[in-house]
A and B are shown apart, each in its own frame.
Chain A
Amino acid sequence: MSGFPGFVLRRAVGAVVTLLAISVIVYVVFYVTPGNVAQITCGPRCSPEQVDQVARQLNLDDPLFLRYWHFLQGLVAGQDYSTGTSVQHCSAPCFGLSYQSDQQVTQLIWTKLPVSLSLVSGAMVLWLLLGVGTGVLSAWRRGRFSERVLTGVTLAGTATPVFVIGLVLMIVVCGELRLLPFPQYVALTDDPEQWAWNLLLPWLSLALIEAAAFARLTRASMLETLAEDHIRTFRAYGVGERSIVGRHALRGAFAPVIALNANNVGSAIGGAVLTETLFGLPGIGQELVHAVNVVDLPVVVGMVLVIGFFVVLANAVADVLYAVADRRVVLT
């Protein structure tokens, strides 16, 4: 196939291959690690006999590729687990059972995902608006004092860790000024108004940091476009400065912003982990930190793969958008 549909299809296949490769690496790293998996699973107080028993239950004697194959089967087709007397069916995509609670990791992910998606998607809208807006403003006011102020503010933004800005916002807005209550997650389906109200601060914390990078990029790409010949032609025709900056130069920033947005999804999810922990939002990130602290490997692996899925998805979508936005991109 050629042309646009073929490009989208090839990109989708590429994304699936990348995901498979990530799952292999993650599986190998986490289940064949220097630490003894059976010992970790069983806990530090287990006797050697108990550790052996756990190792048998986990089929640790099987060759590695076979164990990975079982893991992959579970992901694609689901799996049955015997917990003591009863048999529990874990339907696809099955990441296994939590070592700590015997709960299915997939169920855990489904309960936590809405929180993280609410956080990141809301913050993304904010950081695009704030970042591109600031970039446009400083490209428009270029060479003036206000541009230098904006540049300074965005530089400070790139230098502030998300948990520092979150801490300060929480203390000032919730603690001192009492403008907002301390955030508590309310599901969107329960009460949309409370949902947004409670997520406002977490959104802001995450967005302010991410926006800085977009402001810098937007400004840089717009200045580059403004130096091009066709802009001079517009000027010669008497097109107003506001229209030149707001319409023609902004178009030049469109493709780089899309690319950066895809690149930043990974770092934004990293930021979401910190935001969730700081504000006590029960999302994927908070659960991942907990699972890391108690060495709950199936949960860690499940969360990492789900996050990997979203990062790969974001990159694939961005590639397609990029091709739509910029016709000069060669479709390969």
Chain B
Amino acid sequence: MTDTSVPAASGVRQFWRRLRTQRAALVAAGVVALLVLVALAAPLLTAVEGQDSTTYHPSLVDSARGGVPIGSLGGANADHWFGVEPQTGRDLFARLVYGARVSLGVALAATVVQVTIGVTLGVAAALGKRWVDQLLSRFTDIIVAMPLMIMSLALLAIVPSSFPRPVLVALVVGLIGWGNIARIVRAQTLTLKELDHVLAARLSGWGTWSIARRELLPGIAAPVITYAALLVPTNITVEAALSFLGVGVKPPTPSWGQMLTAADVWYQAAPQYLLLPAGALFVTVLALTVLGDGVRTALDPRAASRLRIGTGRKRESKTTEGGAA
């Protein structure tokens, strides 16, 4: 059982205090903040450079040699900071920063959809009648059994292509990937609903909805936030993978995964065409994963300190803090 007796306000403060003590998580948070800033300021950044992400520059690629960027370093110069895309001559810097928008935007939107569905169905299963629980739980089992990548890939086949692609990818990934959240929320709600303050609310004649909103949601926040923080990097990878396969975000909208589709052909002439999107993906997913781990440690210090037992390293500060919670 978790520390549900801790009032919400001090819980938030405690969370920040514990997050701040982890150096790796702090660095990761900084990187994530920077990436979000780049994504938000994409139009500004490209305006400073004086380019945009969709204009073709046929004069900058050598059509006689299959569209290799002209000049050394893949056509990088003062006008095109990171060079240009092979064949089309589109500005690589602009595509990279707009790609950050797609990557983070799609992943966040998908996570919001997953959390919304997962929390709703999880709470409904735990509070509903027995047959409701049975139905929802079996449905969740089936959803969990279907691989996220495969189902997203397959679903993208049947949606009309007129639909805006990034929205579509976020929706599809969101509609399939909620299974584990629903399971976690159901389990947590089942535990919570037997606690005294919830029973008291029920005896006072509160409706199911008020109980769910005011007594249960604060209690399931911690596990949901923990899991959602780890879902974001997963969703980024899935979007990149789908776009890499050519079924996700489609040109002219740039996406890091999509940029890598043809990168292997051009790696000698324009290595940054491979290295930049690959590096961007790696840094983003790594930073989000480390941040997610940090969030988990801050919300559930006991889980983290358990793993340090027996290492012979100093652990007194962490354990006392966890024990006091």
B158 near A: Cβ within 8 Å? yes
> Which residues 128-154 of B have a CB within 8 angstroms of A?
138, 141-142, 145-151, 153-154
CA distance A40 to B158 in the complex (A): 9
Q: Mark A182-206, 1 if CB is under 8 A from B, else 0.
A: 0000000000000000000000000
- Contact assessment for B247 and A289 in the assembled complex, using a CB-CB cutoff below 8 Å: yes
- Shortest C-beta distance, A148 to chain B (Å), equals 11
**Closest residue on chain A to residue B289 by CB atoms:** A159
- Contact assessment for B145 and A34 in the assembled complex, using a CB-CB cutoff below 8 Å: no
> Which residues 280-325 of B have a CB within 8 angstroms of A?
281-282, 285-286, 289-290, 306-313
- Contact assessment for B311 and A143 in the assembled complex, using a CB-CB cutoff below 8 Å: yes
- Contact assessment for A227 and B310 in the assembled complex, using a CB-CB cutoff below 8 Å: yes
B156 near A: Cβ within 8 Å? yes
Knowing A171-B274, A288-B153 touch, does A266 contact B264 (C-beta < 8 A)? Answer: no
**Closest residue on chain B to residue A296 by CB atoms:** B157
- Contact assessment for A297 and B146 in the assembled complex, using a CB-CB cutoff below 8 Å: no
- Contact assessment for B148 and A167 in the assembled complex, using a CB-CB cutoff below 8 Å: no
- Shortest C-beta distance, A39 to chain B (Å), equals 10
**Closest residue on chain B to residue A308 by CB atoms:** B146
**Closest residue on chain B to residue A277 by CB atoms:** B245
CA distance A233 to B156 in the complex (A): 57
- Shortest C-beta distance, A27 to chain B (Å), equals 12
- Contact assessment for B149 and A273 in the assembled complex, using a CB-CB cutoff below 8 Å: yes
A311 near B: Cβ within 8 Å? yes
CA distance A89 to B312 in the complex (A): 69
Knowing A35-B159, A274-B241 touch, does A266 contact B148 (C-beta < 8 A)? Answer: yes
Knowing A267-B147, A307-B147, A311-B145 touch, does A159 contact B247 (C-beta < 8 A)? Answer: no
- Contact assessment for A161 and B147 in the assembled complex, using a CB-CB cutoff below 8 Å: no
Knowing A164-B260, A167-B274, A167-B278 touch, does A273 contact B150 (C-beta < 8 A)? Answer: yes
- Contact assessment for A300 and B267 in the assembled complex, using a CB-CB cutoff below 8 Å: no
Task: List, in ascending order, chain B residues with CB within 8 A of A301's CB.
Answer: 154
- Contact assessment for A155 and B289 in the assembled complex, using a CB-CB cutoff below 8 Å: yes
- Contact assessment for A293 and B246 in the assembled complex, using a CB-CB cutoff below 8 Å: yes
**Closest residue on chain B to residue A231 by CB atoms:** B310
A304 near B: Cβ within 8 Å? yes
Task: List, in ascending order, chain B residues with CB within 8 A of A277's CB.
Answer: 244-245
Knowing A167-B260, A266-B145, A273-B150 touch, does A223 contact B307 (C-beta < 8 A)? Answer: yes
CA distance A220 to B310 in the complex (A): 12
B-side interface residues toward A, CB under 8 Å? 138, 141-142, 145-151, 153-160, 233, 237, 240-241, 244-247, 257, 260, 263-264, 267-268, 274, 278, 281-282, 285-286, 289-290, 306-313
The 9 closest A-B pairs by CB, nearest first: A270-B149, A266-B147, A159-B286, A292-B157, A227-B309, A159-B285, A143-B311, A33-B158, A227-B310
